[in-house]
Amino acid sequence: MTPAAGARDHLPPAAAGGRASSAPLLGRDTEPTLFELSRPGRQAWQLRTTGVPELPLEELVPAEHRRPSPPQLAEVSERDLVAHFTRLSHRQFSVDLGSYPLGSCTMKYNPKVCDAVAALPGLADVHPGAPASCTQGWLELLVELEEALCQVTGMAAATLQPAAGAAGELTGLLLMRAWHESQGRPRSKVIIPDSAHGTNPASVTLGGYQTVTVPSDERGCVDLAALRAELDDDVAGIMLTNPNTLGLFEEEILDIAAAVHEVGGLLYYDGANLNAILGVVRPGDMGFDIVHLNLHKTFATPHGGGGPGAGPVAVAPRLAPFLPGPRPVRLDAVDVDGAGPRFGWETPEHSIGRVHSWHGNALVLARALAYVLVHGGDGLRRVAQLAVLNANWLRTRLHGTYDVPYDRPCMHECVLSAATLKRTTGVRALDVAKRLLEEGFHAPTVYFPLVVDEALMVEPTETESLQTLEALADAFERIARQAAAPGGAELAAGAPHGTPVGRVDETRAARTLVPTFDARP
């Protein structure tokens, strides 16, 4: 819509007509902002008149709520608006465009059939505040998803409210705290391995606990002797993911569970790596009491702005009374003719309360259930098998070109190292990642886990073909060869060369934010 007369006086100079042309070429190094494309009097879509009599502004908005001056809005045509955002989209990398091998993040392809399900009017057009009698289909969907997630994890009940993995972590720790307090013995410490996700110690702190870190052994797994030395009656629990952040299966998980349970602690499962064991083994069977799941990882729902995320938390029977509420449930009693509501809402007896407004990111939950139903039990198991196969193919292929710190079969992701490459050529893991952008691949995770020097963490997922894996491996090998050639270190240090944005100063970008387009640090 067009701003009120005089609004352009408050716009930056370029928006008031400073540029000679409002139709930039595709080949420009920089894309102008909407304010720079703005021209007085231009507008995009205009709503037709509703026939409702217009009221004076004073009657519509009280004086104390009105702006002292018109808002600074760009004035652009629909054609320029669409072209602007389309050009921006062409400058981005996405899961739909190519391989996105970010280790630990599980950035796999999002099936469009799940998007189609989430777009159905019967799901998308329902107000979250509608009563249960009018939302029986939605409630049935949520209940079926909870039951499927419990079956996959070996848990008894779950909450679908948490909006992301980190929110699921905090919810799990709050459940841990509530359970210990109900037993009359509150505790103060939570154990995490030194290879844990960075969100784990942050969540422990937010949950009011003290973090105790245990080291990994020479095989990359939890050092069981070091763990036992830390266990006492002040340990609330341990946060683990299995396979762990090094992509390795914790082979002594049953012994770990027995040791933690012996001192009255609980086992929390970080579901970031569930993709590797989906349909093969269940966290509940390993001894875990609390499991969070990243639906935007394991069940292929979009990440971030394309999602948003979802981080359900499933629990063992003794923790079910503490779950956030209200929860969608099957009703025990229905009308004799079966016409009454079959689903409703229920708040557990000792609920920790809400952890998200309404009931989580519902359309993401619909996508996840669609993904489960499309695959079925055998299909989900196949997802894990192919993810593990792809990661081990890459590990074997790149062994010798790059260091493999833990040289044994991995699960869904393999951790490489550029330590030798750095020592012999000066090319670092960060340089390799930037060079991969020039090769048409998104960069892998670098410098994580922290226990690996010059780490390159690659997770191909099950959605990439053998041809794509071969191309990715070829790119890794080509980068290593070029690094050893004359001038190779200088070439890598300046990468990426052909992307719309070159190498940025990540430290400065994080510490000196520029939140608006025309701001200056």
Does the pLDDT value for residue 18 go beyond 60?
Answer: no
Read off the tokens for 356: 């998200």
Residue 337 pLDDT: 59
Out of 37, 69, 90, a domain closes at: 90
| CB neighbour list of residue 277: distance below 8 Å, 6 or more residues apart | 242, 243, 384, 411
Range of lowest pLDDT (24-33, 147-156, 479-488): 24-33
Residue 154 covered by a domain: no
pLDDT at 138: 96
Average pLDDT over residues 102-126: 93
For the stretch 242-298, pLDDT in tens is: 999 999 999 999 999 999 999 999 999 999 999 999 999 999 999 999 999 999 899
What pLDDT does residue 466 have? Answer: 95
Number of domains in the chain: 2
Whether residue 85 is contained in a domain is answered as yes
Q: Tokens standing for 405?
A: 């710190």
Q: What is residue 333's predicted lDDT score, i.e. its pLDDT?
A: 61
d(CA 295, CA 312): 8
DSSP category for residue 16: G
pLDDT, residue 63, reads 85
Per-residue pLDDT at 23: 41
CB 200 within 8 A of CB 239: yes
Asked, for residue 37, whether it belongs to a domain, the answer is: yes
Last residue in a domain, options 69, 90, 111 = 90
For the stretch 218-237, pLDDT in tens is 999 999 999 999 999 999 99
Mean pLDDT value of segment 355-359: 89
Q: Say what the pLDDT of residue 420 is.
A: 98
| C-alpha to C-alpha distance for 306 and 243, rounded to whole angstroms | 27
Three-class SS state of 345 = strand
Across the range 351-374, mean pLDDT stands at 93
Whether residue 455 contacts residue 417, with contact meaning beta carbons closer than 8 Å, is answered with yes
Which residue among 90, 116, 151 closes a domain?
90
Residues spanned by the domain of 73: 7-90
Q: How sure is the predictor about 56, in pLDDT bands with cuts at 50, 70 and 90?
A: confident
CATH assignment of the domain containing 414: 3.90.1150.10
Q: Is residue 270 part of a domain?
A: no
Residue 275 belongs to some domain of the structure = no
Q: pLDDT-based confidence at 447, cuts 50/70/90?
A: very high
pLDDT(336) > 70 = no
* Per-residue model confidence as pLDDT tens digits over 294-331: 998 999 998 866 567 899 999 999 999 999 999 999 99
Over the stretch 165-193, which tens digit does the pLDDT of each residue have?
899 999 999 999 999 999 999 999 999 99
The SS3 call for residue 235 is strand
Is 99 part of a structural domain of the chain? no
For the cut 80, the answer to whether the pLDDT of residue 55 exceeds it is: no
Give a yes or no: residue 449 inside a domain.
yes
Position 170 in a domain: no
pLDDT on residue 11: 34
What six digits make up the tokens of 157? Answer: 């009940």
Q: Is 496 left (phi over 0), alpha (psi -120 to 50) or beta?
A: beta
